[in-house]
Amino acid sequence: MALGLLALAGCTSPNPYFDPTRAHHTPTGFRNNDIGTIGKSSDELLRWFQERWDVGDRDPTGAPTVAPDLAFIQRNARARHAMEPAVTWLGHATTLVQSDGLNVLTDPIFSDRASPVALVGPRRKQPPGLRIDELPPIDVVVVSHNHYDHLDRRSVLLLAAQASGSPLFLVPLGVKPWMASLGIDRVIELDWWQSHKVGKVEFHFTPVQHWSGRTLTDRHHTLWGGWAVMGPDLRWYFSGDTGYSSDFAATRARLVPKPGAPGFDLALIAIGAYEPNWFMKDQHVNPREAVRIHQDLGARRSIGVHWGTFDLSNEALSQPPRDLARERELAGLAPSDFDVMAVGETRRYPHRHQTDNKSLR
């Protein structure tokens, strides 16, 4: 319901970040590169609400879960300069990526509901793969946009209060004032194509096709995007939420310009919340489009995220992996090229120098 109401809301306040030389800036907010802004009519919203009601909850369990490998995760965190590149899926779009001496968290949500209130809104189908108190010390948190299932108030407050001190939060333009209102000040906000370096790792904020908003009056007020994280040991990409666009080919061309070179060692690509297509296609990719993103990025390997955790759309929560398997086969890809993980699962990867000019195994 909140998604639908926000989809109808307008954007009227002045944009304090407005730069007329940047095409995605508008006087009142931001826009996408390919299709401008995303919005739905009241008739479209009513049709979607009716379809959601008719479908109901068809999949009460969601994604499979496994017990986390806490011993490895903590040992790897302590190793720092000898850290083994690894990713752990915590559910939805929240992942822990360990590489190049950094523990990085994507789009943190550890709360029971993706909602502005505790008693209503989409409820998670299984606990997070790691509790916040089981996490290693988090160095960096990257946020793709400010929707409730990607930027959770309780979660960022708990992360900021971790015993080792607040992580650095890298956020889109416009999100820093909201973080400051919570008393969180280790925050850097970036525009598309801007970057920030932590140690040897460069974090690039890249364009994707989506929208932002947490109330009925702030649609498009803050920016949205993906993250390209370029380190000596692992080059990885996180899509956040996105519809299919030309932005992914542009990201590879800009950040990995050498012809024929692999674009990214690993891509974390959203594969869920795509039905009904007529309503979702501008803002969420389906597995066929996710495979195209994998190819556009030149990723050696991709993992599907943003599925099986919160019931946000009309496909069953367990459907995205089945659709991904079909589309992967049609594209001539192996299961190891683009796969999914269980909540709590950790995958380990070679250091980049061990895989140059070769495929990841």
Which domains, ranges and CATH numbers included, belong to the chain? 2-12+42-60+143-342 (3.60.15.10)
Query: What is the mean predicted confidence (pLDDT) over 106-133?
Result: 93
Neighbours of 137 (CB within 10 A): 13
| pLDDT at res. 4 | 47
CA distance 269 to 113: 22
Q: How confident is the model at residue 259 (pLDDT cuts 50, 70, 90)?
A: confident
| pLDDT band for position 12 (cuts 50, 70, 90) | low
List, for residues 176-204, the tens digit of each pLDDT value. 999 999 999 999 999 999 999 999 999 99
- The pTM score is 0.94
* pLDDT reading at 239 higher than 60: yes
In the predicted structure, residue 216 carries a pLDDT above the cut 90: no
Contact (CB, 8 A) for 239 and 227: no
Distance CA 93, CA 324 (A): 17
Residue 57 has pLDDT above 70, yes or no: no
**For 222-248, what is the mean pLDDT?**
97
Helix H or strand E encompassing 2: helix 2-8
Q: Is the pLDDT of residue 140 over 60?
A: yes
For residue 238, what are the β-bridge partners?
Answer: 227, 268
CA distances to 22, 25, 177, 226, 251 from 192, in Å: 10, 10, 18, 9, 10
Average pLDDT over residues 150-169: 98
Average pLDDT score over residue span 22-40:
96
Distance in angstroms (rounded) separating the CA atoms of residues 180 and 176: 6
Say if CB 285 and CB 293 are below 8 A apart.
yes
Residue 17 near residue 177, CB atoms below 8 Å: no
Output the pLDDT for position 59: 77
Q: What is the pLDDT of residue 262?
A: 66
pLDDT score for 77: 97
pLDDT at 119: 81
